[in-house]
Amino acid sequence: MAAIAAFFFYAPPVSACSDTTPCDVADGEYLIALPEDAAADTPAVMFIHGFGGSGEGVMRNRGMVDAFLSLGYAVIAPSGLQREGRSGGSWSFHPELSQRRDEVAFLTSVRDAAIERHGIDPVRILLSGFSIGGSMTAYLACADPNAFSAYAPLGGNFWRPHPTECAGPVRMLHTHGWTDGTVPLEGRVLRGEDSRDPEALIQGDIFHALVIWRETNGCYQLKADRFETSGTFLRRAWDRCAPGSALELAVFPGGHVIPQGWADLVVDWYEAL
Enumerate domains of the chain plus CATH numbers.
15-185+201-271 (3.40.50.1820)
pLDDT in tens, the chain (273 residues): 444 343 344 444 445 789 999 999 999 999 999 999 877 799 999 999 999 999 999 999 999 999 999 999 999 999 999 877 777 899 998 888 888 999 999 999 999 999 999 999 999 999 999 999 999 999 999 999 999 999 999 999 999 999 999 999 999 999 999 999 999 999 999 876 666 666 678 999 999 999 999 999 999 999 999 999 999 999 999 999 999 999 999 999 999 999 999 999 999 999 999
pLDDT at 98: 83
Q: CA-CA distance, 63 to 228, in Å (whole number)?
A: 25
Residue 201 per-residue DSSP state: E
CB 59 within 8 A of CB 19: yes
Rg of the chain, C-alpha, whole Å: 19
pLDDT at 10: 42
Q: Is 134 in a helix, a strand, or coil?
A: helix
Q: Is 208 in a helix, a strand, or coil?
A: helix
CB 51 within 8 A of CB 132: yes
Q: How many residues are present in the chain?
A: 273
CB 256 within 8 A of CB 181: yes
- 157-190 burial, b at 16+ Cβ within 10 Å, e below that, comes to bbbbeebeebeebbbbbbbbbeebeebbbebeee
For β-strands 81-82 and 171-177, DSSP reports them as unpaired
Q: CA-CA distance, 53 to 51, in Å (whole number)?
A: 5
Q: CA-CA distance, 46 to 30, in Å (whole number)?
A: 10
Cβ–Cβ contacts within 10 Å for residue 255, how many? 16
Q: Is 269 in a helix, a strand, or coil?
A: helix
CB 118 within 8 A of CB 42: yes
Q: CA-CA distance, 229 to 232, in Å (whole number)?
A: 8
pLDDT at 264: 98
Q: What's the pTM value of the predicted model, to 2 decimals? A: 0.92
CB 224 within 8 A of CB 182: no
Q: At what angle do helices 103-118 and 132-143 cross, to 10 degrees?
A: 90
Q: Is 96 in a helix, a strand, or coil?
A: coil
For β-strands 89-90 and 74-78, DSSP reports them as unpaired
Residue 41 per-residue DSSP state: T
